[in-house]
Amino acid sequence: MAGIDFRKKREGMLKNVRESIKSEYQNEEHALIQAINAFDETGRSYNLVFERLTEWYGIYFPEVKVPNPKSLAELVAVLNDRENMSREAIQKIINDPDKTESIFNKASASMGRSMNEGERAAILAFARMSSDMNTAMEGLDAYIKATSEKLMPNTTYLTDDKIAAKLLSKAGSLERLAMMPASTIQLLGAEKALFKHIKFGSKPPKYGLLFNMPSISNAPRNARGKIARAYATKISIGLKGDYFTKKFIGEKLKSDLESTIEKIKKNVSERPERSRNERPTRPLGGFRSQQNRRGYDRGRGGGGERRQWHRK
């Protein structure tokens, strides 16, 4: 051990680790993962803010109902004082003369309470926050779309930019995602249902994030699993093209996928679908032989009677 400078050795190891981390994060896929997670979390918060703003604004103008979060936030900014309301300002937001006139008339004769200065400042600040969240989500949406098409052109072409980015987020890296088999890709996003199946023996999941595809969610119930498997198989091939060869083969994959889906739907439509309430019949206590169950015996009257326990 003599003659070894542990301080220099430690500094060299730390330098290698820093360079390795720096090299790892040079790839833009990590930024895409953060962007799609930020988009999902902001979307959930945005919905909560919209619900709260709707209830809060209903104190002052309960007759005015606006289902669009962006329009409601803008309307709060111009429709907060009965004495200074303007049809022109409402028209710029709603862009519908009939609705504008209806909102103006309802707000003018509203039975809600009048805002004081403190309430007006508070609700305007809250509405501005809602507008800022909408602007941030639009920016995230544009970035996710552009980056998904650049990093995963085949996968994005087969699915869409959001699903491709979410698959990447679940895997952690494009390399890991490209190495996954089709069966794993099919169940990404259904981890809880899969663990529940393993632990408690519930029905196994047939799809995860891929259920957001209209071709799967709108398909007949007994065809969804087969279509999800077909999607996962083509996505697995497309991912290898995205990561290894960098070649765009999405059009060929999508053409083959559409023909496969048509065959699946045709085969399924020719067979009657079993009712959801229909269950396969089985003997009392399951399919296992009662002789293998220690201490149990059927009553003399047959399988329909209650089991009896023999004490030995």
Query: What's the total number of domains in the chain?
Result: 2
63 domain-assigned: yes
Q: What CATH number should be reported for the domain holding residue 202? A: 1.10.246.90
In a domain, 11, yes or no: no
**Cα gap 172→40, rounded to integer Å:** 16
Q: What is the model's pLDDT at position 289?
A: 45
Does residue 301 belong to any structural domain of this protein?
A: no
Same structural domain for residues 113 and 185? Answer: no
> Is 4 contained in some domain?
no
- DSSP per position, 11-29: HHHHHHHHHHHHHHTTSTH
Instruction: Specify whether the CB–CB gap between 147 and 31 falls below 8 A.
Output: yes
Instruction: Return the pLDDT at 96.
Output: 87
Domain hosting 82: range is 29-144
Same domain, 107 and 123: yes
CA-to-CA distance for 149 and 256, rounded, in angstroms? 21
Q: Are 224 and 207 in contact (CB under 8 A)?
A: yes
- Looking at the fold, whether 34 and 130 belong to one and the same domain comes out as yes
Q: Are residues 137 and 161 in the same domain?
A: no
pLDDT at position 272 is 60
User: 118 and 206: one domain?
Assistant: no
User: Residue 10 domain-assigned?
Assistant: no
Whether residue 311 lies inside any domain: the answer is no
Question: pLDDT digit of tens for each residue in the chain (312 aa)?
Answer: 556 778 888 888 887 888 777 766 678 899 999 999 999 999 999 999 999 999 999 999 998 888 899 999 999 988 887 777 888 888 888 888 898 899 888 888 888 888 889 999 999 999 999 999 999 999 999 999 999 999 999 999 999 999 999 999 999 999 999 999 999 999 999 999 999 999 998 999 999 999 999 999 999 999 999 999 999 999 999 999 999 999 999 999 999 999 999 999 998 876 665 555 555 544 444 444 444 444 444 444 444 444 444 444
Q: Which of 269, 284, 306 is the last residue of a domain?
A: 269
Residues 232, 132 within the same domain: no
Question: What CATH number does residue 88 fall under?
Answer: 1.10.287.4070
Residues 162 and 265 in one domain: yes
C-alpha dist (Å) from residue 170 to 33, 118, 306: 9, 45, 49
Residues 156 and 265 in one domain: yes
Model pLDDT, residue 273: 55
- Give domain status of residue 5, yes or no: no
Q: What is the pLDDT of residue 193?
A: 93
Residue 298 lies in a domain: no
